[in-house]
Amino acid sequence: MAIFLDPSAVVAAADRADLNHAAAMAWFQRADEPLLLGALCLGDLDTLLQRELGAPAVLALVRSITGGAIRLVSPTEADLSRAAQLLETAAEHRPRLTDALMVAAAERLGVRRIATFDRRPIAIFRPRHVRAFDLEP
């Protein structure tokens, strides 16, 4: 199948000073399925990587995408509609659109695994296609 990447996993792998760096690197080395990244996460990653590591880290991410190591997933109109439902259902938790779109795209694509070190924003959503996501590492 495939695994969706949350920005927290990408940043942890890129930043040697991150507390989760070793775990992220070990996870990426054993990841056995195609890696997906929501297109809206690019803005978050640009901000985080530029701030923490500078332009070379952003360039490395772009090269990972253009080189095929990570596949970029653009939201569809159906994903946006589903994300709106998810945002309404979880409104008390103040969810982010990027997280809701990742869940919607995961439902559409049948993805059940998400790589994240920031579990709470994903765990508040109830996916339709599985009981719960497998949150890794």
Determine the length of the chain. Answer: 137
d(CA 38, CA 25): 20
List, for the chain, all residue ranges whose pLDDT scores fall below the cut of 50: none
Element (H, E) at 107: helix 97-109
- Phi/psi at 113 (nearest 5 deg)? -110, 135
Q: Please tell me the predicted confidence (pLDDT) of residue 121.
A: 85
- pLDDT on residue 69: 96
Task: Output the pLDDT for position 7.
Answer: 96
The CATH classification of domain 3-136, taken from the options 3.40.50.300, 1.10.8.100, 3.40.630.30, 3.40.50.1010: 3.40.50.1010
Q: Please choose, from the candidates 19, 82, 24, the residue with its C-alpha nearest in 3D space to the C-alpha of residue 52.
A: 19
User: What are 54-80's pLDDT values in tens digits?
Assistant: 999 999 999 999 999 999 999 999 999
Cα–Cα distance between 123 and 126 in angstroms, integer?
Answer: 8
pTM of the shown model: 0.92
